[in-house]
Amino acid sequence: MKIYWFEAQAPRRVLALVKHLGMTAEFVELDLVGGDLKTPAYARLNPNMKAPVLVDGEFVLWESSAIMAYLCIKAGSDMWPAHAPAEQVEVLRWLGWNDCHWSEAVGSFYFEHIIKPGFGFGTPDREELNAKVDGLLRYAKVLDEHLKGREFVACGRLTIADFHLASMATYWRESEMPLADFSNVVRWLDGLMRIPAWVDPWPAERTRRATCG
């Protein structure tokens, strides 16, 4: 099994899960700036030209939430409750909420403060972020109220929903996301930082991309 990745939030959650579940994989690191995601060979794996991508034999899968579900099924982990329909829809609800609302709310802060300096794309545009504050507060309130009295997002235990929602918000302090007043969100994010694979998801051994397949 190969996983194509680079140091960014969507690959982060997949790599953290692989490590957390104790799975083995070949981790193929992509050079974003060098254009690895724009090659025809990579586009054949993922026509969106994004990471991560999982290749397991002939099977190719993109979208981190689907990849995480696949990994859990393969490992027999209930972090994706494949055999419990009521729990499955609960997790699914938060995966969808992330992709439609939360990732949009936190994404600009993450991009301006983590991705731009990290990849040499310039310095954070704080004026641009001022316009994003209301959107973030709106959805942070939803998550904060949901997390009242809860340690995890769904099913009363760690699921892929936690990794999915936390991957950009983990960097909230460095990204100047106005989350300090959302004590349940902060408690949840700080709690995840007690999971070794979440703190350090990146592979110890890295293979540079030679071929896509």
Ligand X SMILES: N[C@@H](CCC(=O)N[C@@H](CS)C(=O)NCC(=O)O)C(=O)O
Beta-carbon contacts of 45 under 8 Å, excluding residues fewer than 6 positions away, are 4, 53, 55, 60, 62, 212, 213
Candidates 4-12, 68-76, 81-89, 129-137 — which segment interacts with ligand X by CB under 6 A? Answer: 4-12
Question: For residues 37 and 90, is the Cβ–Cβ distance under 8 A?
Answer: no
Please report the sign of the dihedral spanned by the C-alpha atoms of residue 134, residue 170, residue 143, residue 61: positive
Long-range contacts of 123-129 (CB under 8 A, 24+ apart): 124/176, 126/176, 129/176
Candidates 8-16, 148-156, 172-180, 203-211 — which segment interacts with ligand X by CB under 6 A? Answer: 8-16
**64 near ligand X (CB under 6 A):** yes
Q: Which of 3, 9, 132, 159 binds ligand X (CB under 6 A)?
A: 9
Among 39, 2, 7, 45, CA closest to 24: 2
Candidates 15-23, 49-57, 79-87, 117-125 — which segment interacts with ligand X by CB under 6 A? Answer: 49-57
65 or 77: whose CB is closer to ligand X?
65
Candidates 2-10, 124-132, 137-145, 198-206 — which segment interacts with ligand X by CB under 6 A? Answer: 2-10
42 or 188: whose CB is closer to ligand X?
42
**63 near ligand X (CB under 6 A):** yes
Candidates 46-54, 87-95, 122-130, 152-160 — which segment interacts with ligand X by CB under 6 A? Answer: 46-54
C-alpha 93: how far from chain center: 16
For the chain, the residue count is 213
Q: Which of 2, 3, 10, 162 binds ligand X (CB under 6 A)?
A: 10
By CB under 6 A, what part of segment 154-193 binds ligand X? Answer: none
Structure tokens at 1: 């099994």
Q: Which of 15, 18, 37, 169 binds ligand X (CB under 6 A)?
A: 37
Q: How far apart are CA 14 and CA 3, in angstroms?
A: 9
115 or 192: whose CB is closer to ligand X?
115
Beta-carbon contacts of 23 under 8 Å, excluding residues fewer than 6 positions away, are 1, 71, 74, 75
**101 near ligand X (CB under 6 A):** no
Residue with tokens 């099924």: 73
**71 near ligand X (CB under 6 A):** no
Binding site for ligand X (CB under 6 A): 8-10, 32, 37, 50-52, 63-64
